[in-house]
Chains A and B, each alone.
Chain A
Amino acid sequence: MAMPRILVAEDENLAAMAIEEMLIDAGFDVLLAADGQQALEIAALNDFDLLLTDLRMPRLSGNELVRRLREGRPGLPVIVMTGYAPPGGVGALQAGYGPMVLLAKPLDPDELLDNIRLLTGKRD
């Protein structure tokens, strides 16, 4: 079985690096994007199994990114990481029917990994 591939959209470089390292250690393949716009561009050229995204990002927000990706893939699993819970909770972000998890920053690395494993069906 090929390694599940995660698209990570996070504008804070140091956070993105830690997440990348952690996911690689845990046996995932990682695509990194510095903002929503770049994530869209990467998504157009690559296959991936899950979107892990920040909400507030320059150029294109996480909100908008989820909406656009779910237009083409309504079942895409999404994990949103944010310091601010969006008004209306997950429901406000939901588009399509795929699973969506909201994780609050600061992130708990174990909780993040557990959720990613759950949504990608990957076992240790």
Chain B
Amino acid sequence: MPSVAAAIAGWLPESWLRAGLAAHEVLGAAAILHVLLAVIYIAVALRLVLLLAHPGEVRSHAKIIVLIALLCFGSLSHALVLITAAIPGNGGSAGYAVAAWLVALAGAILLWRLLPEAVMLPPASSLAREMAVRRQAEARARLSEAQMAELFHHLPDALFVIRLQPDGSFIFETVNAAFRRLVGEPERNLLGARPADFLASGTATTLERQFAEALGAKRTVEHEAAVANGEGHRIWHTLVVPLNAEGTDIRLLGSIRDVTATRRLRSDLQEASRLATIGSMCAGVAHEMSQPINVVALWAGRARASIDKGSLDPSRVSRALSIVEEQTRRLSTLLERMRDLTDESKDTGNDLFDASEAALAAVEVVSRQYALKGVSVLLAARREAMPVRGQKAQVEQALLALVANAADAVARRLEDEPDCPARVRVAIHADVDTNEVVLEVRDTGGGVPVSLQNRIFDPFFTTKDPGQGTGLGLSIAQGVARAMGGSLSTFNIGQGTPEAGAVFRLTIPLASARPMPARKIA
């Protein structure tokens, strides 16, 4: 090592050597600090190089020049320390050297901290671009806000924003044109007003209750209520949305739609449909009742004639009267069925039973009867429990009506087409997705003509010959389905093929997702 030092000493100019020796004498033990400062500056310079080498960043050249200048200044101040120490006569001014050293250190630390941020700063041109983008975004936001405001003010629904006051009351903060029209007040009477200030007290109370409900539940609340205003009773559909249910500045956004006309139209339609049903029902009732009443009239006439003639034959009178009695029973049964029909809400019972068992029982009852007419009735049931709630007998009755309807359709088609397929297929399965039991009765009877599809569920509507059907079966089946919370619908299938027919689909909600307890085996 001494030989290396001697070689370096021999290579350096003599004046440098002297200066170095002088500095060594002045600073002595502080030499290690110089080494430290030099290392720091080398690190700062390296970091600058690394940052500049990092790709993909926009840099400010001016900043980089300033940074290099600062780096040079820092290095210079370090050199200054050495130089001042080396100048003869200044050897004693250690204070000056320490000050210069501290400046150099501070410069290095500052540079280290500022470096990454300064280097990454975008250049002036990109700054201008960014400003332009930001201004465009602001303009878009302003436009969007203006559009929203336009929308708010011109929507046909009455809109409003209300604010919760510290005393728990609500005041209107913003209202749109439709709202002003709805309540018939100018804006100045509405802004800052409470609901009760311009609405009937009942209406105001209803609204305030809805506001409180929406705030309490922190969700959208919808209501439809009849309100009284200057124009009489109206039906308002209101919707209230909490904008910020938390915090101190609590607001709600609300909308009101006057649905009076729609509701009236709907009830008119219901009334028209009801009248049409009544008309269809009356025609059916007239037909169903005319036969037994005719028989009663004829046999009562026979009995009277027998008595009038004087040659009273007790056996003939008795026979006539028993026929009269029988026909009145027939009429009673008919009335009973009509009563069943009008009272859908009749106690449906709440027995838990297996719908597939009911289907099996119903199909067993009738399959032989229809087989004699050349119509085969088949049951396809999955072997799974299908618990439903209601009355088993009613489900059987509904299913029997559907099967009878299907078998009659097939029998009628057989008259015209003796070779057509003659099957009624009853399928039952539990649909776990919709949580209901689905009973489908599919026939090969050609299908229901589209023109009749709207009427076939009407009571007493029938296309069958006199005495062949009452027109009540489908109607009763629908009543049973509805009373149990289900539905009855129909669609045609296989049109244009020999298998053409109708499907009647009866659904009943499953009583529970769990399977029924296993039945005891006898």
Interface residues of A (CB under 8 A from B): 11-12, 14-15, 18-19, 21-22, 25, 56-58, 81, 83-84, 105-110
Q: List 11 A-B contacts (CB under 8 A).
A: A12-B291, A14-B323, A15-B295, A15-B298, A18-B320, A56-B466, A83-B290, A105-B291, A105-B293, A106-B294, A108-B301
The minimal Cβ–Cβ distance linking B341 to chain A, given in whole angstroms, is: 21
- Candidates A11, A18, A25, A84; contact of B298 at CB < 8 Å: A18
- Candidates B287, B298, B320; contact of A107 at CB < 8 Å: B298
The minimal Cβ–Cβ distance linking B93 to chain A, given in whole angstroms, is: 134
Interchain CB contact under 8 A, A11 and B467? yes
The minimal Cβ–Cβ distance linking B4 to chain A, given in whole angstroms, is: 133
Binary per-residue interface labels of chain B (446-482) against chain A in the complex, 1 for a CB within 8 Å, 0 otherwise:
0000000000000000000111100000000000000
- Candidates B290, B299, B465, B467; contact of A18 at CB < 8 Å: B299
Residue B297 CB within 8 A of the other chain = yes
Residue B286 CB within 8 A of the other chain = yes
Interchain CB contact under 8 A, A58 and B297? no
Binary per-residue interface labels of chain B (293-324) against chain A in the complex, 1 for a CB within 8 Å, 0 otherwise:
11111110110010000000000000010010
Q: Which B residues, 194 to 235, have Cβ-Cβ distances below 8 Å to chain A? A: none
Residue B397 CB within 8 A of the other chain = no
Point out the residues of chain B lying under 8 angstroms from A18, CB to CB.
295, 298-299, 301-302, 320, 323
**How many A-B contacts at CB < 8 Å in the complex?**
67
Q: How many residues of B contact A (CB 8 A)?
A: 21
The minimal Cβ–Cβ distance linking B488 to chain A, given in whole angstroms, is: 28
CA distance A15 to B301 in the complex (A): 11
CB-based nearest A residue for B304: A109
Instruction: List 7 additional contacts besides A18-B302, A83-B286; criterion CB under 8 Å.
Output: A11-B466, A18-B298, A25-B305, A58-B466, A83-B287, A107-B298, A109-B298
Point out the residues of chain A lying under 8 angstroms from B467, CB to CB.
11-12, 58
Interchain CB contact under 8 A, B287 and A14? no
Interchain CB contact under 8 A, A106 and B466? no
The minimal Cβ–Cβ distance linking A27 to chain B, given in whole angstroms, is: 13
Q: Which B residues, 165 to 208, have Cβ-Cβ distances below 8 Å to chain A? A: none
The minimal Cβ–Cβ distance linking A6 to chain B, given in whole angstroms, is: 15
Residue B328 CB within 8 A of the other chain = no
Interchain CB contact under 8 A, B294 and A15? yes
The minimal Cβ–Cβ distance linking A117 to chain B, given in whole angstroms, is: 15
CB-based nearest B residue for A109: B301
CA distance A105 to B294 in the complex (A): 6
Interface residues of B (CB under 8 A from A): 286-287, 290-291, 293-299, 301-302, 305, 320, 323, 327, 465-468
Question: Which of B295, B297, B298, B466: most chain A CB closer than 10 A?
Answer: B298
CA distance A81 to B468 in the complex (A): 19
Q: Is the interface of B mostly helix, strand, loop or mixed?
A: helix
Interchain CB contact under 8 A, B293 and A106? yes
Point out the residues of chain B lying under 8 angstroms from A106, CB to CB.
290, 293-294, 296-298
Point out the residues of chain A lying under 8 angstroms from B298, CB to CB.
14-15, 18-19, 22, 106-107, 109
The minimal Cβ–Cβ distance linking B444 to chain A, given in whole angstroms, is: 22
Interchain CB contact under 8 A, B466 and A14? no
CB-based nearest B residue for A54: B466
CA distance A109 to B466 in the complex (A): 22
Question: Which of A11, A21, A22, A108: most chain B CB closer than 10 A?
Answer: A21
CA distance A106 to B466 in the complex (A): 16
CA distance A40 to B433 in the complex (A): 59
Q: Say yes or no: A83-B302 contact (C-beta < 8 A), given A56-B466, A57-B466.
A: no
CA distance A116 to B290 in the complex (A): 22
The minimal Cβ–Cβ distance linking A50 to chain B, given in whole angstroms, is: 18
Question: Which of A11, A14, A21: most chain B CB closer than 10 A?
Answer: A14
CA distance A110 to B465 in the complex (A): 29
The minimal Cβ–Cβ distance linking B19 to chain A, given in whole angstroms, is: 135
Interchain CB contact under 8 A, B299 and A108? no
Point out the residues of chain A lying under 8 angstroms from B297, CB to CB.
106-109
- Candidates B301, B327, B465; contact of A14 at CB < 8 Å: B327
Interchain CB contact under 8 A, A22 and B305? yes
- Which 4 pairs across A and B sit closest by C-beta, in order of nearness? A83-B290, A109-B301, A18-B298, A106-B297
The minimal Cβ–Cβ distance linking B50 to chain A, given in whole angstroms, is: 103
Q: Say yes or no: A110-B301 contact (C-beta < 8 A), given A11-B467, A18-B295.
A: yes
The minimal Cβ–Cβ distance linking B323 to chain A, given in whole angstroms, is: 6
CA distance A18 to B297 in the complex (A): 10
- Candidates A19, A21, A22, A58; contact of B468 at CB < 8 Å: A58
The minimal Cβ–Cβ distance linking B278 to chain A, given in whole angstroms, is: 18
Question: Which of A25, A56, A106, A109: most chain B CB closer than 10 A?
Answer: A106
CB-based nearest B residue for A18: B298
Interchain CB contact under 8 A, B302 and A14? no
The minimal Cβ–Cβ distance linking A78 to chain B, given in whole angstroms, is: 19
Interchain CB contact under 8 A, B466 and A21? no
Point out the residues of chain B lying under 8 angstroms from A22, CB to CB.
298, 301-302, 305
CA distance A7 to B259 in the complex (A): 65
Point out the residues of chain B lying under 8 angstroms from A108, CB to CB.
297, 301
- Candidates A15, A58, A105; contact of B465 at CB < 8 Å: A58
